[in-house]
A and B are shown apart, each in its own frame.
Chain A
Amino acid sequence: MRRSALRTLPAIVLGAALLGAWEAYVDLSGVEADLLPAPHAVASALWSNGGLLWRNFAVTAEEVVLGLGLALLGGLALAVAIHLSPLLRRAAYPLAVGSQAVPIPVIGVLLVFWWGFGLFPKLVVIALICFFPVVVSTVDGLAAVDPEQPKLLRTLDASRWQSFRFAELPAALPAALSGARIALAVGVIGAFIAETTTPSTGAYPGLGREIITDVNFQTARAYAGTAMLVAFAIACFYALAIAERRLAPWSIRTRGETR
């Protein structure tokens, strides 16, 4: 417990220093509050709008978690398919790369036309933004499996599926999880993009919408919402690091970073 507290100390110190510098800058430069609210103003906006921001945050958090789930499932499935089929690799890999260049607003209207104003089109946007790192790192992880291992499994009469299940899949798991961490880091901004490109009809449209609405006239509240998104991204990232330690304990030992 004390050790983990000690480990978070540098991040807290750096964060506090940056906030202090920001506060000092706003005070000394006299920049307008509409342009850059001071940290204390953001904190008080967070405090007085807590309920509103929190309900919007809950909507966004759900989108991020489900969208990432979709991205992971789709990304892993595609990576495995690409690994098993050289033909599919040649056919699908360039398209997967190209998909990352599509500006989401171009297809936003179409997604709404297909699936309406609900949750699902937003999940599709998030998944589209997040699946790529999962695919790339999983494909690389699968390709980097020690070629002796499948050989060993073959001499034990393993089928193709068993060789995959006992050797390739666990060997590629750490790489797949690294891909998931990258996906997670872009997942939150993915949700923001999803909310701003596919409108909602719900009572709370999500934090992304809220921020866009607030940014001109309620700047402090927009910053408060942003702070929540930032904190959420950090929390998710470390949650996944903990999951990784449980799912692939053998890989942590060799890298020795997160311990």
Chain B
Amino acid sequence: MPTQLQSRAQPPTFGGGTGAHIALEGVSRTYSARNGAEVQALAEVSLRAGAGELLAVVGPSGCGKSTLLELLCRLQSPDRGSISCPPAVLMPQHDLLLPWLSALDNAALALRIAGAKRAQARARAEGLFVELGLAGFQHARPHELSGGMRQRVAFLRTLLSGKPVLCLDEPFGALDAITRAEMQEWLAGTLAGEPRTVVLVTHDVEEAILLADSVVVLSPRPGRVVAQLEVELARPRRRTDGDVIALRERALAILATGSQS
């Protein structure tokens, strides 16, 4: 079982921007149900992430993590507050591979939407497809792939949209521990080769600390930012490193008590 996480390349600069790449100020979002009931998902959320950083978001179920990503991707708009974020693409919580497309066609979907012909799109996706360890499964249908493979295809589809910000919603949530560890290493390696700004939602605190430059901890619904921990640990990180364990314990304590004491 691989335990070493590869180092990431230096953050690229997008649009020559300085300082924060992503900035949320006092963002609130309330859903209203049909019967008039209101569910507040996010309350006064403020956070920042620099260009090329990986920001992890952890929090209990229902605290508005998916909502946060949809806000960043402009699939919803906030009721209050402001969001500044370059074009962002969502990798949804469920991989949502389209069952009528082959694995390679699913991966190349963004290219076809951008106007490429099917053959062109496939040709351009094929290189990364093979690099991501999916060789031989080009023509497989999504249901013929393992969970880990499906996530890789869904990730590749997200990556090939070419947008500077990737919003990954619990990409490894449905995987077993061994596959998840493999996929974490794989993600770190892939991002080293294809640097982007990443917002990673996860319920796995260890995953957040292994992968992220910064970890945002949200409270139970309505989600508020309880803490934003900077993870200033050298890469590669191992889950057995003392610093990783210490930081993990701190984050878990914050999650459990809901406050930064």
Task: List chain B residues, Cβ under 8 A from A148.
Answer: 92, 94, 96
In the bound complex, do residue B161 and residue A167 qualify as a contact, i.e. CB atoms below 8 Å apart?
A: no
| Any B CB within 8 A of the CB of A149 | yes
List CB contacts (< 8 Å) of A136-185 with chain B: 146, 148-149, 151-159, 162, 166-167, 170-171, 173
In the bound complex, do residue A149 and residue B109 qualify as a contact, i.e. CB atoms below 8 Å apart?
A: no
What size tier do the contact residues of chain B reach? 20 to 34
* Total A residues in contact with B, Cβ cutoff 8 Å: 22
In the bound complex, do residue B113 and residue A152 qualify as a contact, i.e. CB atoms below 8 Å apart?
A: no
| Any B CB within 8 A of the CB of A253 | yes
Nearest chain B CB to A26 CB, angstrom units: 52
Nearest chain B CB to A163 CB, angstrom units: 9
Q: Interface residues of A: mostly helix, strand, loop or mixed?
A: helix
Task: List chain B residues, Cβ under 8 A from A250.
Answer: 99-100, 141, 143
| Any A CB within 8 A of the CB of B153 | no
In the bound complex, do residue A156 and residue B100 qualify as a contact, i.e. CB atoms below 8 Å apart?
A: no
Query: How far, in angstroms, from A173 to B100 measured CA to CA in the complex?
Result: 10
Query: Contact string, B97-111, partner A, CB cutoff 8 A, digits 1/0?
Result: 011110000000110
| Any B CB within 8 A of the CB of A248 | yes
What are 14 sample pairs from A and B whose C-beta atoms fall under 8 A apart?
A149-B96, A151-B70, A151-B75, A151-B92, A155-B88, A155-B90, A156-B113, A156-B157, A156-B161, A158-B113, A162-B113, A166-B101, A171-B100, A248-B100
In the bound complex, do residue A156 and residue B110 qualify as a contact, i.e. CB atoms below 8 Å apart?
A: yes
Task: List chain A residues, Cβ under 8 A from B113.
Answer: 153, 156-159, 162, 166
In the bound complex, do residue A156 and residue B89 qualify as a contact, i.e. CB atoms below 8 Å apart?
A: yes
Nearest chain B CB to A160 CB, angstrom units: 12
Given contacts A148-B96, A248-B100, A253-B143, contact A155 B75 (CB under 8 A): yes
Given contacts A148-B92, A166-B109, contact A157 B99 (CB under 8 A): no
Query: How far, in angstroms, from A159 to B112 measured CA to CA in the complex?
Result: 12
Query: How far, in angstroms, from A146 to B94 measured CA to CA in the complex?
Result: 12
Q: Interface residues of B: mostly helix, strand, loop or mixed?
A: loop
Query: How far, in angstroms, from A171 to B70 measured CA to CA in the complex?
Result: 23
Query: How far, in angstroms, from A239 to B99 measured CA to CA in the complex?
Result: 24
Task: List chain B residues, Cβ under 8 A from A248.
Answer: 100
Nearest chain A CB to B103 CB, angstrom units: 13
In the bound complex, do residue B161 and residue A152 qualify as a contact, i.e. CB atoms below 8 Å apart?
A: no
| Any A CB within 8 A of the CB of B23 | no
In the bound complex, do residue B100 and residue A152 qualify as a contact, i.e. CB atoms below 8 Å apart?
A: no
One of B88, B96, B101, B112 near A152 (C-beta < 8 A) = B96
In the bound complex, do residue A156 and residue B109 qualify as a contact, i.e. CB atoms below 8 Å apart?
A: yes
Task: List chain A residues, Cβ under 8 A from B100.
Answer: 170-171, 173, 248, 250
Task: List chain A residues, Cβ under 8 A from B99.
Answer: 250
Nearest B residue (CB) for A171 = B100
In the bound complex, do residue B114 and residue A152 qualify as a contact, i.e. CB atoms below 8 Å apart?
A: no
Residues of A within 8 A of B (CB): 146, 148-149, 151-159, 162, 166-167, 170-171, 173, 248-250, 253
Query: How far, in angstroms, from A142 to B82 measured CA to CA in the complex?
Result: 35
Query: Contact string, B64-102, partner A, CB cutoff 8 A, digits 1/0?
Result: 000000100101000000000000111010101011110
Query: How far, in angstroms, from A73 to B95 measured CA to CA in the complex?
Result: 34
List CB contacts (< 8 Å) of B141-200 with chain A: 141, 143, 157, 161
Q: Which of B94, B96, B101 has the most CB of A within 10 A?
A: B96
Task: List chain B residues, Cβ under 8 A from A173.
Answer: 100
Query: How far, in angstroms, from A164 to B94 measured CA to CA in the complex?
Result: 20
Task: List chain A residues, Cβ under 8 A from B110.
Answer: 156-157
In the bound complex, do residue A170 and residue B94 qualify as a contact, i.e. CB atoms below 8 Å apart?
A: no
Query: How far, in angstroms, from A153 to B89 measured CA to CA in the complex?
Result: 10
Query: How far, in angstroms, from A153 to B109 measured CA to CA in the complex?
Result: 9
Query: How far, in angstroms, from A146 to B141 measured CA to CA in the complex?
Result: 18
Given contacts A162-B113, A166-B113, contact A155 B73 (CB under 8 A): yes
In the bound complex, do residue B92 and residue A152 qualify as a contact, i.e. CB atoms below 8 Å apart?
A: yes
Query: How far, in angstroms, from A157 to B157 measured CA to CA in the complex?
Result: 12
Query: How far, in angstroms, from A151 to B98 measured CA to CA in the complex?
Result: 13
A-B contact sample (17 more), CB < 8 A, given A166-B112, A250-B141: A148-B94, A149-B96, A151-B75, A155-B73, A155-B75, A155-B88, A155-B89, A155-B161, A156-B109, A156-B157, A157-B114, A158-B113, A159-B113, A166-B101, A171-B100, A173-B100, A253-B143
Nearest A residue (CB) for B142 = A250
Query: Contact string, B201-236, partner A, CB cutoff 8 A, digits 1/0?
Result: 000000000000000000000000000000000000
Nearest chain B CB to A256 CB, angstrom units: 13
Task: List chain B residues, Cβ under 8 A from A157.
Answer: 110, 113-114, 161
